Chain A
Amino acid sequence: MIKRFLPFGAALASFCLVSLTGQYAALFVQGWSFSSWLYPLLFTAALESSYFAAYFLTPQVPLLGRVLELSLFLSPLYFLSAGSKALAVESLLVGGAWLLARGYGRQFAEMEIKSAYLSDYPPSAINWEYESLESKGYGAGPAVEYFWRRFFAFGSGAVVLAIIAERSNFVLDSLTRVRLGVLTTGSLFCLLVLQTGAYLFRLQILWEYAQAKIQPGLSRIWLKSLSVFLVVALLAVNAAPVNYSPFSLEKIGPRLAGFLQRILEGPALKREAGSDFPAAAGGPGFLPPPSEAEPSWWIAVILLIYLLSAGGIVLIFFLILLGFLIVEFSKKELGGLRGLPKLAVRVFKALKRVWQKLTGAAWAEPEENVFSPRPAGVKEEFLFSRLRFSSWPEPRNIRAQFRRMVRLGRKKGVSFRADHTAGEYGFCLQKKLKEGKNNIALFIAGYHRVRYGRDRLGPNEQSKIMALGSDLIKEIKNLGKEE
């Protein structure tokens, strides 16, 4: 599955996008520059967030866990930042990278969770052919639309930032230009790779449920072909001509402004003499001011009581609401906190596995045997066979023997298909077995009589067929061992 690489792509895309935003922020925020140590911090925050969200994050994870996670990346900023303004901007950037990657990672996990309903359908009813934007009308929206929406939003955001930077007439040195160019192209590249990765992941989920026959190495061929396409597309996009618009804002702006002004102003109004403005204060156009009599004391008392009671009611209501929220929140938090150690263990084990894979794991500990500890000196194969076969009771009748044969046959590669009759299955077994070829026909004939016949078998006959069955079971068990 491509899933294990997707969070990395998401982290890379988030890192590029936030770094690009940071570069523009360095232009807009006076007295702050984008420090180079911010790059690894942004990337690590994004990486952690996306992998955690993709593999470990559940609604049960308490808020404290998230706070701890975020503080892991924000706390170094406190020591590294130069001043409160820088701290604020850098915190925003790190938080932004963390949140962006979190959204992607959560989406990967949800894609898997939401696909679980597919197990209710037969494989033949699942299709992936219409899982595209164009075929949206045929059913629900494709799962990858989320990624398209983000793609468009982030792309548009980058365009807006670029336009503002250009219109603000900032003087950009060549290094900043290169940096902006690389980060813009890198962001687009990463977003597109992420887009196709998410689509491939969705297809892989569907293929798995539909039990499709997948070409080996399909993901590899896919990504190889895609990289060629992306490189060509991005080169073409960068090489294409720019700034040739016949109706740019500079060209049509003054004309448009004039036109709008004419519309807004309208025709000039004629003034009538003496009717434009009211007369001066105290003149004939004004009413006399009301007399200011002293209010009686009881009105003040009533007002005070009213204010106190209204304030009290509001306060009580607010306190109740707050208490309710605190109780609910603490309930959820306490529930979640209980699972926190387990989560920590899971994360630790996952990290350990990754580390083992990366380092070759020569010192790796053996996997835990969940069912029973293996006695010293007992081979795994033997243990397996003991667990699987010896624990079964001996079949009591011919039908049970046939069922046992089917079970064993399935393990040896001769499965009893839904469309098989007992006779046809016997024919398949006959092809596999060397010694018991002739016995099978007799056994199946006996089985047919027991299963479908009207008469009962005599004790002698039954014991003979059961003896044949036992021999056959032994032979099926030994299939493949001689080789």
Chain B
Amino acid sequence: MIKWQFLSMLALLAAFLFETRTAYNWAYLMLILFFGLRLFQRRLTEQIAVRRLTPQLSLFPGEQKEVVFQVENKSRLPFAWISGLDRIPTDLAGTRPKKGVFSLPGRSRVEVPALLTARQRGVYVLGPIEIFIGDFFGLSTQRFLVDDPQTVLVYPRIYNLEDLNLTSAAVIGPITAQKRIYPDPTKLAGVRPCQAGDPLRTLHWPATARTNSLQVKQFEHTVNVTCLLLLNLDRGDYESKKHHLQTELAVSTAASLSAALLRSGAALGFAANGVLTRRLAQEKINLTGSGPILRLRPRQGTAQLVQILTILAGIETQKKVGFETILAEQSRRKGSAAFLFLVIPKDSVEIVSRAEELVRNGYRVHIFVAGSKIRHPRLLHRPKEAPLQIFTAREKEGARL
């Protein structure tokens, strides 16, 4: 480039010496090309605005979604070509992302899409966006990095319980209350003659008309149970050869159980001895306590499911806090939940004895082993009412299809 700038100066010198219009025109043109255009374009690129158009993304494995960023030329002058590429983590890039090239006239904007394919649970950060701007003649190219990161959550895979080889007995829905205090207005059990003290709004008018005596609705008395899902992510408990597979299965099992429980109307809490990835810091998670255990207070509804899935998206194993710590802490917190769901890679003697201790404290405990071996087969296939049961979570063949 310096060579051409030097030649431009020579052309100007020739014009000054020989004083001819053609020489002047030639020198001006050279100066415009090799000095003016470069400087001008540098100035002009300040008028380029790059922004992301896609709001925060959450995907399930196998899902595809398009993310878009917009390049806007705020000036009135055109750009010959601009190429832009969003840096997408490998686990999110379905195919090799193709660089987009476009020409941008003055006061115009272009949207550059990229397809994300969620394959692996995790928290991913898109960006920075790399932008190259070139001129019409191949004189210079400018490169910019737009640091506008975007977090993409890939939730763990949620299976139907059957696909994990689990029966509906593994989870519980609303149960019939022992004390008939709370009638459930959504569950009509029948009608009965009206007695003194029955509220007027429970009158069943069609039945009253038919029988010619006051009849009231009789509701079922149910209570929603409070459950707690405990996930063991102590690295030492997982087989080193199958660490990844077992972790993912445990996390998916936890996610599937959470979905099933919350769908059935139960209030679900969550505790795990894992660590959250740093990239998850931006997400809003209402964790309780500040110890090494990640804990969510029991709640109902979709919002709670989203919270749990968000944690599960970014949770990783660790080796400092054992699962026994969670169980010991739980036995101290009496009355926080009635049902405990333990998702563990192996049913070690310590865990089972702790579970038995919890049962003695009045809990019902279901253990889900996301591993290949069961060390306590006596606890398998027990009656539905048994307070301590073990289930094996195993992905059924073709479950992903």
Give the size category of B's interface with A: 35 or more
| B140 touching A133, Cβ below 8 Å | yes
Q: B91's closest neighbor in chain A, by CB? A: A419
- Interface stretch of the complex, out of B10-18, B222-230, B298-306, B378-386: B10-18
Chain B residues 99-142 with CB under 8 Å of chain A are: 99-103, 105, 110, 119, 132, 134-141
Residues of chain A within 8 A of B398, CB atoms compared? 423, 441, 444-445
Identify which of A131, A196, A248, A427 contacts B62 (C-beta below 8 A).
A427
| A131 touching B138, Cβ below 8 Å | yes
| B78 touching A228, Cβ below 8 Å | yes
Chain A residues 180-213 with CB under 8 Å of chain B are: 184, 188, 192, 195-196, 199, 202-203, 207, 210-213
Complex-state Cα separation, A49 to B25, whole angstroms = 30
Residues of chain A within 8 A of B16, CB atoms compared? 245-248
For residue A172, CB closer than 8 A to chain B, the reply is no
| B22 touching A162, Cβ below 8 Å | yes
Complex-state Cα separation, A423 to B80, whole angstroms = 45
Residues of chain B within 8 A of A215, CB atoms compared? 100-103, 110
Cβ-Cβ contact count across A and B, 8 Å cutoff: 180
Residues of chain B within 8 A of A207, CB atoms compared? 101
Chain B residues 1-45 with CB under 8 Å of chain A are: 1, 4, 7, 11, 14-26, 28-30, 32, 38
Identify which of A144, A163, A192, A238 contacts B20 (C-beta below 8 A).
A163
For residue A142, CB closer than 8 A to chain B, the reply is yes
Identify which of B19, B80, B99, B143 contacts A222 (C-beta below 8 A).
B80
Identify which of A135, A213, A233, A430 contacts B100 (C-beta below 8 A).
A213
For residue B200, CB closer than 8 A to chain A, the reply is no
Known: A133-B4, A136-B1, A240-B24. A199 touches B138 (CB 8 A): yes
Residues of chain A within 8 A of B105, CB atoms compared? 221, 224-225
Residues of chain B within 8 A of A229, CB atoms compared? 78, 136
Within the complex, the shortest CB–CB distance from B325 to chain A, in Å, comes to 38
If over half of B's interface residues share one DSSP class (helix, strand or loop), that class is named, otherwise mixed; here it is mixed
- Interface stretch of the complex, out of A9-17, A65-73, A80-88, A122-130: A122-130
| B401 touching A441, Cβ below 8 Å | yes
For residue B265, CB closer than 8 A to chain A, the reply is no
For residue A152, CB closer than 8 A to chain B, the reply is yes
For residue A1, CB closer than 8 A to chain B, the reply is no
For residue B96, CB closer than 8 A to chain A, the reply is yes
| B400 touching A142, Cβ below 8 Å | no
If over half of A's interface residues share one DSSP class (helix, strand or loop), that class is named, otherwise mixed; here it is helix
Within the complex, the shortest CB–CB distance from B394 to chain A, in Å, comes to 15
Q: A193's closest neighbor in chain B, by CB? A: B136
Complex-state Cα separation, A225 to B106, whole angstroms = 9
Residues of chain A within 8 A of B99, CB atoms compared? 210, 212-213
| A155 touching B26, Cβ below 8 Å | yes
Known: A215-B103, A427-B62. A242 touches B24 (CB 8 A): yes
| B397 touching A134, Cβ below 8 Å | no
| B26 touching A148, Cβ below 8 Å | no
Chain B residues 352-401 with CB under 8 Å of chain A are: 397-398, 400-401
For residue A385, CB closer than 8 A to chain B, the reply is no
Q: Which of B25, B80, B96, B134 has the most CB of A within 10 A?
A: B25
| A419 touching B1, Cβ below 8 Å | no
Residues of chain B within 8 A of A91, CB atoms compared? none
For residue A279, CB closer than 8 A to chain B, the reply is no
Within the complex, the shortest CB–CB distance from B5 to chain A, in Å, comes to 10
| A132 touching B101, Cβ below 8 Å | no
Complex-state Cα separation, A53 to B138, whole angstroms = 24
For residue A379, CB closer than 8 A to chain B, the reply is no
Residues of chain A within 8 A of B69, CB atoms compared? none
Residues of chain A within 8 A of B397, CB atoms compared? 445, 448
Residues of chain A within 8 A of B78, CB atoms compared? 221, 225, 228-229
Contact with A along B160-188 (1 / 0, CB 8 A): 00000000000000000000000000000
10 more contacts with CB within 8 A, not counting A133-B4, A163-B18, are A142-B138, A155-B11, A156-B11, A159-B23, A196-B136, A199-B136, A199-B137, A225-B80, A246-B16, A424-B62
Interchain Cβ contacts under 8 Å between A and B, 28 examples: A129-B143, A133-B140, A134-B140, A134-B141, A136-B1, A144-B137, A144-B138, A156-B26, A158-B22, A159-B22, A163-B20, A210-B99, A212-B100, A214-B101, A215-B100, A218-B81, A218-B101, A221-B103, A222-B103, A222-B136, A224-B105, A225-B105, A228-B78, A233-B32, A243-B19, A426-B401, A427-B400, A441-B401
Interface residues of B (CB under 8 A from A): 1, 4, 7, 11, 14-26, 28-30, 32, 38, 62, 78-81, 83, 94-96, 98-103, 105, 110, 119, 132, 134-141, 143, 397-398, 400-401
The 8 residue pairs across chains A and B that have the minimum distance between CB atoms: A225-B78, A162-B22, A215-B102, A245-B16, A134-B140, A199-B138, A221-B103, A242-B24
